[in-house]
Structure 1
């Protein structure tokens, strides 16, 4: 009997591990893995891949690029997208490019089973001894936490997309433990004369605490106000930034809390530095930030000259507790 061949493509070892565990255990399938889209395409070009489980946000070549290349080159391979980017527009685009289905991360075993059955890829009964031939990847803290953040920021982007009626482009999140000086460097991607406004919101739950920092470039505030159909006058723009911060930070923290099974209490968002250079923001807050576990990523809005940076700054003593919470995902 010919064995069904499956390729799992995701840059996150954590995501690949979760997906492998979500597959029906009795499914007789041979599994291989790829860490980015270009690697997956090379494997498909060699032939013999029946189904590709494909992430969207990846380095080298993203999922959209893989789907476009499959169509352009006429490569025969069925594709199911498994992504943290759950925007309605993302689902529409991958469907238009030929994906057979879309599953949100982290993959739910029942939904995976139902999708495979609906597509006629799995009968629901084992006809042979399962032939799974792929080792689960080893996952470290950084990769596990990065994937939790990836899923959370995807949910936040989907909410923002609905509120603004736009498509939000998602980056790869960057997870680092930084000293305050290194945090300065991470934030200083803007030019030295760039004027910034930052909104800060504290959070705590299950012994894990930190602050979320949402940084807006002043030159783009007027464009955001137009999207929200608001006057960009100072008082109105500050209210708008606080509203956007509340939506984004709240959705992101909610996504993290759900995945690691805790509940965060959030403080009120505050304007941290109004029309101030980044040097001044760091100087005013370096005592409370000290050494921190920093997660940084930038949202950009397609078709508009708008982007803003979101950083989650976890206190140093939160790291052991986060590690414990992630242990069941890494195990």
Structure 2
């Protein structure tokens, strides 16, 4: 009997990855949604006995979607597939009725194990036919941008998870803002950070297999005292050395986890430079122009983390020069084929 299956994710690249992970022996009728509103419509139409649901999406996110499913008692089984695997996120979704979580990127054996555990599918994973595989030569510029966004989405979730474990707080994760731009236009692409007139920034460079970049953690200067209190450092919050220590510690957690997740997905081992304080209490334009003037074009990825319960926010900015972009996409495609 054919099972109606819905894949709901705002990333087309992620939807394709999930579709490719469906066991070949499982008789399914696949449908797709790019946000929760589309998913709810499909479920009401009977197109989703099983739903693979992302969390961070525009219009209606995974939490809101799960809330509607529960309130209307819609007949479907929900498995969350997300880069955000914080324990609080998992508990919240399970309490609302989701069966379980699968971490991105998809682990095919784990997916089959989970489907079998809940009596949804009892076969084995099978090699994917060539007709379902992704081909780099067929990709458009938008396809590549979507793939970059999903790559970073997974890394962002890993960093958020590590920070949540350390701090014991829920980290609000956004949809990454990804732009391919001229380096002198970077300040126009990061509107959220621009709201802060005075910031401090810590930078770390990384390189491997021809892929290089800079990771910057940018702090609104008004947040520093709250960060020190959260970290429970001994000393006065206005101690300059203590403030620097706090900025460095948070930066190392974020960039370390994020770059490790990028390394895992690209199957490379990044060499990291020592973290460097670019400046304190300066305008963002000045910090950025000092740091990336050597590049003509960049892929700029902005991730706005927040700990709302503590009124803390900071941004992770990943910058890749244009010659690294094609290498990243090529590796993603090759690794996708090897995983089959």
How far does residue 125 in structure 1 lie from its aligned partner after superposition? Answer: 7.2
Cα separation, 1, equivalents of 2:196 and 2:210: 38
Match of 1:183 among 186, 194, 200: 186
> Which residue number corresponds to residue 102 of structure 1?
101
Is 1:295 aligned to 2:301, yes or no?
Answer: yes
Distance 1:290 1:272, change over 3 A: farther
Distance 1:135 1:318, change over 3 A: closer
> Which residue number corresponds to residue 87 of structure 1?
86
- Kept after mapping to 1: 8 A contact 2:149/2:176: yes
Q: Deviations over 1:162-189 (max 9, x none)?
A: 1111000111112212212321123453
- Kept after mapping to 2: 8 A contact 1:19/1:107: yes
Listed as ranges, the matches of 1:71-150 within 5 Å are: 71-124=70-123, 140-150=143-153
What is the SS of the residue equivalent to 1:189? helix
> Which residue number corresponds to residue 167 of structure 2?
164
Q: How big is the alpha-carbon RMSD for the aligned residues of Structure 1 and Structure 2?
A: 2.2
Cα separation, 1, equivalents of 2:55 and 2:20: 20
Q: Deviations over 1:253-285 (max 9, x none)?
A: 110111011110001111101111223213433
What is the SS of the residue equivalent to 2:175? coil
| TM-score, structure 1 normalization | 0.92
Listed as ranges, the matches of 1:211-290 within 5 Å are: 211-230=214-233, 231-232=236-237, 233-290=239-296
- Any stretches of 5+ residues in structure 1 without a counterpart? 127-133
Q: Deviations over 1:83-131 (max 9, x none)?
A: 11011111101000100111111111111111111101113279xxxxx
Cα separation, 2, equivalents of 1:147 and 1:116: 24
How far does residue 327 in structure 1 lie from its aligned partner after superposition? Answer: 2.3
- Kept after mapping to 2: 8 A contact 1:199/1:270: yes
| TM-score, structure 2 normalization | 0.90
Cα separation, 2, equivalents of 1:193 and 1:106: 34
Match of 2:200 among 197, 201, 220: 197
